[in-house]
């Protein structure tokens, strides 16, 4: 009987310990994050949510963290005078796919593929169609562009240059297919570790504004 009681006590103790074995990240705005801290870098704190240990690794800028209390009680206070602001991460080999809405005399729908090939260069391929809201104007285009990436905190801004083929059909002017030279720029806004919102202006023979979402593979 004593052995059974001891075993139950041991199991309950292990359960209580595991329930409390969490790190607490206190933000400068007073909010707390229950987490398991993975890494503290010069720019951010990387962690997994305590109730989702197999989930994605998240990060919060170190400049927004007041303190970290580890599961063993050890506590560190972040020195904000040395905390660097976090730039959006740019990692060679990163691939992403997305959807976007281009506006070129008519609204359209497009698909996009991107791959970062160096610390600052990203290749971008797109296909879009223009068939919505205006029956007098329709068409499609295919583009291959190069982006030069400049991270600024939680944003990435970039100029772009590339080539494309555009097929346009207008009721009064007929159909025309021609190559185009693209120039312009855009901005990526980080929504999470995997998702970004993109806004882009591309100028060839006409200006085209597009917006959409990208998701890392």
> Are 192 and 122 in a shared domain?
yes
Q: Which domain holds residue 35?
A: 22-86
Mean pLDDT computed over 157-164 = 94
> Are 140 and 203 in a shared domain?
yes
**Does 100 reside within a domain?**
yes
**Does 12 reside within a domain?**
no
pLDDT at 17: 44
> Are 53 and 156 in a shared domain?
no
**Final residue before a domain boundary, out of 67, 86, 105:** 86
pTM of the predicted protein model: 0.58
Q: Which residue, 94, 103, 106, 83, is CA-closest to 27?
A: 83
CATH for 172 = 2.40.160.20
**Final residue before a domain boundary, out of 63, 86, 109:** 86
> Are 80 and 167 in a shared domain?
no
> Are 180 and 78 in a shared domain?
no
> Are 52 and 145 in a shared domain?
no
**Does 105 reside within a domain?**
yes
> Are 100 and 59 in a shared domain?
no
Please write the tens of the pLDDT for every residue from 187-210: 998 888 788 999 999 887 777 888
> Are 160 and 128 in a shared domain?
yes
> Are 105 and 57 in a shared domain?
no
Mean pLDDT computed over 67-73 = 87
Please write the tens of the pLDDT for every residue from 6-56: 555 555 554 444 445 789 999 988 898 999 999 888 778 899 998 888 888
The Cα 172–Cα 72 span in angstroms is 75
pLDDT at 72: 84
> Are 159 and 183 in a shared domain?
yes
Please write the tens of the pLDDT for every residue from 109-133: 889 999 999 878 999 999 988 765 5
Name the pLDDT band for 172 (thresholds 50, 70, 90). low
Domain total of the chain:
2
Beta strands in the chain (DSSP E): 23-27, 32-40, 44-49, 58-61, 65-69, 75-77, 95-103, 107-116, 121-132, 137-148, 150-152, 155-170, 174-190, 195-203, 207-216
* More confident site: 134 or 201: 201
**Does 31 reside within a domain?**
yes
> Are 164 and 110 in a shared domain?
yes
CATH for 60 = 2.30.30.100
> Are 54 and 103 in a shared domain?
no
Say if residue 179's pLDDT is above 60. yes
- Who's near 182: CB < 8 A, 6+ residues apart? 143, 145, 160, 161, 162, 163, 164, 202, 203, 204
**Does 10 reside within a domain?**
no
* More confident site: 153 or 44: 44
**Does 168 reside within a domain?**
yes
Mean pLDDT computed over 152-156 = 81
């Amino acid at each position: 009987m004593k052995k059974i009681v001891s075993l139950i006590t041991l199991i309950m103790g292990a359960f209580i310990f595991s329930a409390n074995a969490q790190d607490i990240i206190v933000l400068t705005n007073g909010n707390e994050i229950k987490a398991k801290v993975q890494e503290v870098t010069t720019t951010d704190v990387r962690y997994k949510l305590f109730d989702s240990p197999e989930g994605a690794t998240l990060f919060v800028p170190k400049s927004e963290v007041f303190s970290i209390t580890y599961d063993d009680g050890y506590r560190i206070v972040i020195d904000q005078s040395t905390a660097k602001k976090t730039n959006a991460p740019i990692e060679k080999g990163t691939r992403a796919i997305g959807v976007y809405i281009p506006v070129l005399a008519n609204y359209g729908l497009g698909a996009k593929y991107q791959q970062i090939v160096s610390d600052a260069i990203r290749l971008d391929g797109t296909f879009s169609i223009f068939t919505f809201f205006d029956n007098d104007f329709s068409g499609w285009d295919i583009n291959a562009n190069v982006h030069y990436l400049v991270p600024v905190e939680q944003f990435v801004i970039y100029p772009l240059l590339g080539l494309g083929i555009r097929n346009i059909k207008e009721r009064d002017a007929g159909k025309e297919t021609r190559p185009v030279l693209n120039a312009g720029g855009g901005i990526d806004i980080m929504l999470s570790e995997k998702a970004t919102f993109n806004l882009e202006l591309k100028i060839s023979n006409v200006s085209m504004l597009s917006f959409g979402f990208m998701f890392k593979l």
